[in-house]
Amino acid sequence: MKIAIAGKGGVGKTFIASGIAWSLVRAGYTTLAIDADESPNLALSLGLSQEDAARIVPILENDELIRRKTATEFSGVYNLNFSVDDIVHDFSIPTPAGVHLLVMGAVKSAGSGCACPANSMVRILLHHLVVERDEAVVLDMEAGVEHLGRGTAEAVDWMLVVSDANKKSLITAATIANLAKELGIPHIEMVGSRIENDIQKNIVTAFADQHDLPLLGVVPFDSAVMKAGIQGSSTLTLYGTSALLAIDKITAQLIHATKKDATKRR
């Protein structure tokens, strides 16, 4: 099961990504979380300390790794034929949530056609993680989908577009949904986040209907989540809260639908 999660910054995307990853572990899935946001915070959400999180070097900023994988003896010529299994083994980090974490960093230049060695290496690595590996993968994306080339995106099972009821967040959500459709992701669904009342729920529901996006679920506003964010506490401290119960329900729907799809393909 491969799940990409994207949305405007500040809508609770990383909280939802960490909650789904932890929920998958509790459901018995070996799970790898990929932090592909330009401001990586997934480590804290999965229970790592601030000190441990600060020591993580994103793959895109690991100059020695990039040089070792892509360098040739010719100036301006890069090797793009290399293995990436060792990157997962050597650089993924176990977290208290039981999820292994790999921090990518953000693509540094616009356009999925960029062939610079760092970005190309990350795309090859993502293709390996999504297409060739068996464990559940949860990708915490930035607002765009620049990390996903077409061959990778087509192997992602789900793109969850996260938004609150804010107009700017919904505009970003529409852009993400359109990009995901262009890339051929098979399941593109909406998740309402930080929803405080029926008015906000109706706004998100109407948006989902307008853009032909199934509404997978709604995560309610929960003061405990806000308090945890202020204190820098992890998602693990929020077990039993209304927000995390909603994420568990969303995860259960993803598991059920994925099993149903697998049965149809047999």
What pLDDT was estimated at residue 30? 94
Least confident of 60-64, 110-114, 151-155, 248-252: 110-114
pLDDT of 115 > 50? The answer is no
pLDDT of 113 > 60? The answer is no
Q: Which residues contact 114 (CB under 8 A, 6 or more apart)?
A: 107, 120
Taking residues 200-204, what's their average pLDDT?
97
Q: pLDDT grade, residue 109 (50/70/90)?
A: very low
Residue 13: name the closest of 39, 51, 32, 31 by CA. 39
For residue 207, give Cα distances in angstroms to 2, 7, 214, 254: 25, 14, 10, 21
Max CA distance (Å), the chain: 62
Taking residues 44-54, what's their average pLDDT?
93
Question: Quick check: 164 and 193 in contact, CB under 8 A?
Answer: yes
| 221 vs 259, more confident | 221
pLDDT of 162 > 60? The answer is yes
Alpha-carbon distance of 246 to 217, in angstroms, equals 8
Helices (H), 71-158: 85-91, 117-127, 150-153
Q: pLDDT grade, residue 144 (50/70/90)?
A: low
Least confident of 30-34, 47-51, 75-79, 133-137: 75-79
| 132 vs 185, more confident | 185
The domain ranges of the chain are: 2-265
Question: Quick check: 20 and 247 in contact, CB under 8 A?
Answer: yes
Helix 167-183, helix 198-210: angle, nearest 10: 30
- The CATH H-level (homologous superfamily) assignment of domain 2-265 is P-loop containing nucleotide triphosphate hydrolases (3.40.50.300)
For residue 62, give Cα distances in angstroms to 32, 68, 117, 162: 20, 10, 12, 30
Number of neighbours of residue 264 by Cβ within 10 angstroms = 7
